[in-house]
Amino acid sequence: MAIGLPKVDVIFTGLANTAVVRSGRGIACLIINDNTGIDTLELNDNTGMDTLELSKTKKENVVNEEDLKVKSVITEDKILKQYKGFTEVEKTDYAEENYKIIEDVFLTEINKLYVIKIPNDKTFDDIKPFIKKDINWIAYIGETREEQKKLADFVKLENKLRSKRLKAICYNLQGAEADDMHIVNFVNASVIKADGKSLVGYKYLGRLLGVLAGCRMDMSVTYNIVSDLNSVEQIGDTDAINEAIGKGKFVLINDDDG
């Protein structure tokens, strides 16, 4: 039987003036698939040329393609950044969509945000060593269920090894995948932003990461107003919503009185 989470739901009011309470408590980590600024040419042992020479000769079709190896080089300075506020974020460091997701995290005041980029030819497993021990909340803007499960499995294992518990906001996990009190399972299929733009559910994880990381221990996110949205695609009628909450799922619902 699933452990389930306490009854947690978030109501937002379209164009509401009430803001999410700003806290500054938590340290968050956002993981994104982003290759910006990471591509690097490396040589294998068949050429003996430096990178500049190799780049030129490749264009001139002098070097055999088998002598080239193009891969990303993972070092902390390339894939990991930390910010105290959104004004510190360089737009050129990220794909446009990811830049906006980072901006959404900071709609709620948090202590600090780590951003980790996963290059095109790498996976979640490759960046696990760069996840810091001081974070409270973590999210992965991964489209597939397998990517979300990777994060959930990491959190379950990590919490066996550390005294300060790590918590994750994941998307649409199934069954036992979310069977852990430190994993929040967000399930709405899509949301409509205040500017009218539609986002699939997993792309809203950054915003929810900020809400959760910014929530003080003496507060709750239940019935919190998320004023950057116009509406959400609800998971069903009241019975369906109550059933989802009973199974420990995290849902957004429309406020019919707003």
The string of pLDDT tens digits covering residues 45-72 is: 444 444 444 444 444 555 455 555 556 6
Helices first, then strands: H and E counts in the chain = 7, 13
Residues 84 and 26: beta-carbon distance below 8 Å: no
Q: Over its length of 258 residues, how does the chain's per-residue pLDDT go in tens digits?
A: 333 344 455 554 443 333 334 334 799 999 999 999 886 544 444 444 444 444 444 445 554 555 555 566 788 999 999 999 999 999 999 999 999 999 999 999 999 999 999 999 999 999 999 999 999 999 999 999 999 999 999 999 999 998 889 999 999 999 899 999 999 999 999 999 999 999 999 999 999 999 999 986 666 676 677 889 999 999 999 899 899 988 889 999 998 654
Nearest residue to 12 (alpha-carbon basis) of 222, 155, 217, 225:
225
| Domains of the chain by residue range | 9-37+73-254, 39-71
Nearest residue to 91 (alpha-carbon basis) of 81, 99, 103:
99
DSSP state at residue 44: -
225-249 residue pLDDT tens: 788 999 999 999 989 989 998 888 9
Distance between CA atoms of 25 and 250, rounded to whole angstroms? 21
| Positive or negative torsion for Cα 61, 66, 67, 70 | positive
The SS3 of residue 222 is coil
pLDDT of residue 25: 74
